[in-house]
Amino acid sequence: MDSASILQHLVNGAMLGMMYALVAVGFTLFFGVLDVIKFSHGDVLMLGAFTALSAALGLSAAGIEQPLLQLALMLVAGIALTGLVGALVGRYLVLPLKSAPALNTLLITLMFGTALREAVRVFYPQGSNPKPFPRLLPDDALQLGALSLRADSLLLLALGALVIIATHWLIGRTKLGLAIRAVAQDEETAKIMGINYTKIVLITFALGSALAALAGIINGLYYNEINFSMGLNLGVIGFAAAIVGGLGNFYGAIIGGFLFAALQTIGAVAIPFGSSYKDVFAFAVVIALMAWKPTGLIAEQEAQRV
- Domain extent listing, the chain: 3-126+149-304
pLDDT digits (tens, 9 = 90+) for 246-290: 888 889 999 999 999 999 888 887 776 656 778 888 899 999 988
Q: Please determine, for residue 302, whether its predicted confidence score (pLDDT) is greater than 50.
A: no
pLDDT of residue 170: 94
151 or 71, which is more confident = 71
C-alpha neighbours within 13 Å on the C-beta side of residue 265: 19
Position 255, amino acid: I
Distance (Å, whole) CA 306 – CA 304: 6
pLDDT digits (tens, 9 = 90+) for 169-205: 999 999 999 999 999 888 899 999 899 999 999 999 9
Helical packing angle, 102-123 and 41-61, nearest 10°:
20
Q: Please determine, for residue 305, whether its predicted confidence score (pLDDT) is greater than 60.
A: no
Burial class (CB in 10 A: 0-12, 13-18, 19+), 45: buried
Distance (Å, whole) CA 272 – CA 277: 9
pLDDT digits (tens, 9 = 90+) for 118-173: 888 888 877 678 999 999 988 777 776 666 777 888 899 999 999 999 999 999 99
Instruction: Assign domain 3-126+149-304 one CATH number from 2.40.50, 3.30.420, 1.10.3470, 1.10.1760.
Output: 1.10.3470
pLDDT of residue 303: 40
pLDDT of residue 152: 85
Position 96, amino acid: P
**β-bridge mates for residue 144, sequence order:** 147
pLDDT of residue 247: 84
Could you tell me if 47 and 219 are in contact, meaning their C-beta atoms sit under 8 angstroms apart? Answer: no
Q: Please determine, for residue 92, whether its predicted confidence score (pLDDT) is greater than 80.
A: yes
pLDDT digits (tens, 9 = 90+) for 6-65: 777 788 889 999 999 999 999 999 998 888 889 999 999 999 999 999 999 999 999 988
User: What is the residue-wise DSSP string for 57-112?
Assistant: HHHHHTT---HHHHHHHHHHHHHHHHHHHHHHHIIIIIGGGTTS-HHHHHHHHHHH
